[in-house]
Structure 1
Amino acid sequence: MNKDKNSMNKVNSSSANTSNASIVVQFTVYTSEEYLSALLSTLGENNLNISAYYISENNRQLKFVFIVGEDDVQSSSDVNITRNILKQNRFKFDETKVVRLSTPNDVGLLAYHYSELIKNLTVYNSYTGEDGSIIYETCCPTKTLKAVNELY
């Protein structure tokens, strides 16, 4: 991608050239295995689909990072219900906006996008989700969305 930072800020006016990328809310919960199991049950009881997630351990505490909704749509209801469940159950959590690209299961696409995105953006994290979707957690979700649309 031989584009300067100014061209990254321009809106891609060609709708035929846009990807299936969108900005969605990602939740990060810090908990134990026992409480994570209870959280997963509660989310399921409320018919919330987890379309992407990863779990890591940090200082004997689990870090559960996830996105609710379908693989191509996240409704405000999905986000609000999840937020309410987390608050009601007193989970320590964070919310961030990330870019999700719904794509055929293409492992090479993640590597290609990552190598291009880091030229102009700080990429904190990237991982795959349901049906091969790719999630990019960056410094600037709006710029990331525009950049991904230009790459697609």
Structure 2
Amino acid sequence: MTGIDHTSTHPGLSPWRIVQRIEAIVAAIPEALPLLALRFALAVPFFKSGLTKWDGFLTLSNGARYLFTQEFSLHIFGNEYPYPAPILMATLSGIGEIVLPILLVLGLGTRFAALGILLMTAVIQLTVPEGWANFHLPWAAMALTLAVYGGGQLALDRAIGLGSRKG
């Protein structure tokens, strides 16, 4: 059975040409869309976690109190240390996990919110070190990207003059 070389009769169908076309299509996606997707992807898990820390407006849940006073500890250089001021840490964590994701979704103070979540991710890493590959690394990568590039054109930052493009 002889093979037919379709590339000579249909140059538009060559594998290289198909790859080039796909690459051009992907490259034409406005940067605002992946930045918007990153903002939502990073906001959702933090916001969901924040909801579990409250039993009402600024009323810390019993579960959050228990976790920060009894379960959570900081893992530093092979040792475990209790959280300093655990109720304060739980409160700040709960506030951050509600406010920062809302800011991200709105694209308001995007770089600030992303840096806040990056800092929270570092503390979470010290608290739950085994979560690095599955959760903390992707969160850190998303937060760093948003801190560097901002929220994009579909962010309120751009409307108030904070969303200047990097580069």
Q: More strand per residue: 1 or 2?
A: 1
Q: Do the two structures share a fold, i.e. TM-score over 0.5?
A: no
TM-score for both structures, normalised by structure 2: 0.28
Q: More helix per residue: 1 or 2?
A: 2
Structure number with larger C-alpha Rg: 2
More relative contact order, 1 or 2 (CA 8 Å, 6+ apart): 1
TM-score for both structures, normalised by structure 1: 0.30
